[in-house]
Structure 1
């Protein structure tokens, strides 16, 4: 696991694009900010695009755009002030704060803005694969996630917790969710993880072309001693051929920023995103989960003062 995480962490730096932490816009000037999400076309990216649209529309003097990224890498980019806002997973934030797992140092400058949508893990195989359990993955090619992404980190951790080590007990393939779906369809991998919100067009399209099934995880082992993960489900009928509820591991997506980001800007952004959550949901159904009910779910790091102010006004904090 440590070797795999070291490989992943060495790739974080390749995405650096210097930017400064944003401040509230001066009258007559436009403040340009970015929200870094996940892989292009995935749920994170689409939700980030919805959030950017809301900010542009409802926060005067601010123009926002979405950027592709990866959950673990996003924390580092926000900490370096390369982007103003970023999405990450609850477990990534937990370990970044402690300087553990995939993080070789602590990132105490990261602050939470809000909790958002649930990310259920899906372990997918073709129905003709002969694979029926996690144990059957020994020696197989398994799509894990692309380097630096929340999926790559989580799937490596998850598999080790269930007794299988990447590149030792099975052949880890570091692919984007889109590449995982394509490789399953083409038969170039035996199994693949997709760790994004449901429903996702990637699995809908895959299931329409190739008979698939979801493999159950050993949740007793997977969740033991991991307060940042929880049991969740994909409702039966969400995807073709998956008629029963699929009970699986889940974690929450959260929006973060740097502690130095202007409190007034963060307050106005927080207010706009919560009060126009239906508009966020126009780009992906998961956007509707970024509501006050889920505002603190999975958040283990301190809230930014600007976000804290709004949440206190609403009685959430």
Structure 2
């Protein structure tokens, strides 16, 4: 009897182990994005859906305060990966820029460069803001603390000899800033994101009376000499309803992770993103999805690639 009972117990244990094994093997892979009104969040959602493999990998897009917050989340272990501006990722890895004086994020690794992010300066018509220099004394939202946008805005304003104290600075998400500008409580706000940005498109099409201000001129040329991650950019005419071509600058949107993430997991994720089916879905799903291509994936890498990503790109002949 004892042996029969023991056999039943062992059989039950084996059955539980068999059922539990797939659940234990399943990986969860969070992607820190940005505010829901920006470009990171919808693009992150598309990518998460494309790489998810039920029973093996569950990816999810998580709204956040943006680049700096995502870097901190990855390094702190609350995120498996996240989107970041290329400048912020480099500063974190090298312990420079906004991360000066902080421990270097030496475990930060690149999964892929995704697309260029245009720096938008949105102003209320009639505010007299025709260039960055005109922001002095105006009510300006510079985005939230922890965002890459705030870092870049301070650099841009610095090129014109200004700091936060030279404007009536506010720090809020772009959709909140857009509502406040619409109600007359703000003169301008910045957002760094792939155009078209939902928050800007909705504001323009609502007839709120706004315009995009160029970020150009000798001051910006000089800034680019010292901060080479800024690249010349143009928001084409018609990107936003009734808005002509606007000259600006851009940084790259990158997908980053930690060196601690398993090589096999990252390899399979990258392989899934650049499959033919995923590429078609990305191109159809968002205007910036058309730029998430294999050739762009290895462009402008300021930090080391994750071994899993590096293996895939070497197989494709993109890296030596």
TM-score in terms of structure 2 length: 0.86
Larger mean CA deviation between 147-156 and 109-118 belongs to 147-156
- Partners of 1:213 and 1:176 in 2: how far apart? 18
Q: Describe the SS at the equivalent of 1:52.
A: helix
Aligned residues between the structures: 290
The correspondence for 2:294, drawn from 267, 292, 299, is: 292
TM-aligned CA deviation for residue 52 of structure 1: 0.6
Report whether the alignment pairs 1:107 with 2:105.
yes
Q: What aligned pairs does 1:110-121 form with structure 2 within 5 A after superposition?
A: 110-121=108-119
Residue equivalent to 1:306:
308
- Partners of 2:49 and 2:234 in 1: how far apart? 30
- Partners of 1:114 and 1:122 in 2: how far apart? 23
Larger mean CA deviation between 69-78 and 129-138 belongs to 129-138
Any unmatched runs of 5+ in structure 2? 1-20
TM-aligned CA deviation for residue 101 of structure 1: 1.9
The correspondence for 1:205, drawn from 167, 179, 202, is: 202
TM-aligned CA deviation for residue 281 of structure 1: 4.4
Residue equivalent to 1:185:
182
Give the root-mean-square deviation of aligned CA atoms.
1.8
Residue equivalent to 1:267:
267
Q: Describe the SS at the equivalent of 2:241.
A: coil
Any unmatched runs of 5+ in structure 1? 1-25
TM-score in terms of structure 1 length: 0.87
TM-aligned CA deviation for residue 145 of structure 1: 0.7
Decide whether the 8 Å contact of 1:162 with 1:222 is kept in 2. no
The correspondence for 1:86, drawn from 82, 86, 90, is: 82
- Listed one character per residue, the Cα deviations across residues 56-101 of structure 1 (whole Å, up to 9, x for unaligned) are 14x8610111101210111111112221111101000111111122
- Partners of 1:265 and 1:81 in 2: how far apart? 16
TM-aligned CA deviation for residue 221 of structure 1: 3.2
Residue equivalent to 1:8:
none
Q: What aligned pairs does 1:1-317 form with structure 2 within 5 A after superposition?
A: 27=22, 29-57=25-53, 61-69=56-64, 70-103=66-99, 104-166=102-164, 168-208=165-205, 209-217=207-215, 218=217, 219-243=220-244, 245-275=245-275, 276-317=278-319
- Partners of 1:196 and 1:151 in 2: how far apart? 9
Q: Highest relative contact order (Cα 8 Å, sep 6+), 1 or 2?
A: 1
- Partners of 1:281 and 1:62 in 2: how far apart? 23
- Partners of 1:128 and 1:61 in 2: how far apart? 55
Larger mean CA deviation between 201-210 and 299-308 belongs to 201-210
Q: Describe the SS at the equivalent of 2:242.
A: coil
- Listed one character per residue, the Cα deviations across residues 113-145 of structure 1 (whole Å, up to 9, x for unaligned) are 100011101111122212222222111111111
TM-aligned CA deviation for residue 27 of structure 1: 4.5
Q: Describe the SS at the equivalent of 1:272.
A: helix
Structure with the higher fraction of residues in helix conformation: 2
- Partners of 1:226 and 1:64 in 2: how far apart? 34
In structure 2, relative to structure 1, the CA distance for the partners of 1:286 and 1:123 (3 Å cut) is same
Decide whether the 8 Å contact of 1:139 with 1:169 is kept in 2. yes
- Listed one character per residue, the Cα deviations across residues 182-213 of structure 1 (whole Å, up to 9, x for unaligned) are 12211111111121111122112211222222
Larger mean CA deviation between 176-185 and 216-225 belongs to 216-225
TM-aligned CA deviation for residue 294 of structure 1: 0.9
Residue equivalent to 1:23:
none
TM-aligned CA deviation for residue 153 of structure 1: 1.4
- Partners of 2:124 and 2:241 in 1: how far apart? 13
Task: Answer with 1 or 2: which has the greater Rg.
Answer: 2
Decide whether the 8 Å contact of 1:143 with 1:189 is kept in 2. yes
- Listed one character per residue, the Cα deviations across residues 151-186 of structure 1 (whole Å, up to 9, x for unaligned) are 1111112211222111x2112111111112112211
- Listed one character per residue, the Cα deviations across residues 208-227 of structure 1 (whole Å, up to 9, x for unaligned) are 22222222223213322112
Q: Describe the SS at the equivalent of 2:114.
A: strand
- Listed one character per residue, the Cα deviations across residues 28-69 of structure 1 (whole Å, up to 9, x for unaligned) are 642222111111242101111111101114x86101111012
